[in-house]
Amino acid sequence: MTQKGIIAAGHPSTVEAAETILQAGGNAFDAVLAAQFAACVVEPVFTSLGGGGFLLAHTDTDDNFSTTSLPKRLFFVAIMR
């Protein structure tokens, strides 16, 4: 596992959340989730848990990229359960 990386975000608290997860041994996916949750609090105008999006992911086990669409409905259903 690499010990170098960059965290880019629009608010220092968002960066701090991702950094904390990485320093505790989490991976990039864990850090992204922490950053997203923090951004919902400190940058609510720019992001929320109710929005959709896309995820492009690459693991260190192969050379393939995975893409996933995150529809708005998915989050709404998860919240309503």
Q: What is the pLDDT of residues 39-69, one digit of tens each?
A: 989 988 888 777 677 777 777 777 777 777 7
Output DSSP code: residue 37: H
Per-residue pLDDT for 81 more than 70? Answer: no
Nearest 5 degrees, angle CA 54-CA 57-CA 63?
Answer: 140
Compute how many other C-beta atoms are within 10 angstroms of the C-beta atom of residue 44: 9
Whether residue 43 contacts residue 10, with contact meaning beta carbons closer than 8 Å, is answered with yes
pLDDT over 90 for what percent of the chain?
A: 27
Per-residue pLDDT for 17 more than 80? Answer: yes
Rg, C-alpha atoms of the chain: 14
25-29, 60-64, 73-77, range with the lowest pLDDT: 73-77
3-state secondary structure at position 32: helix
Single pTM value for the model:
0.69
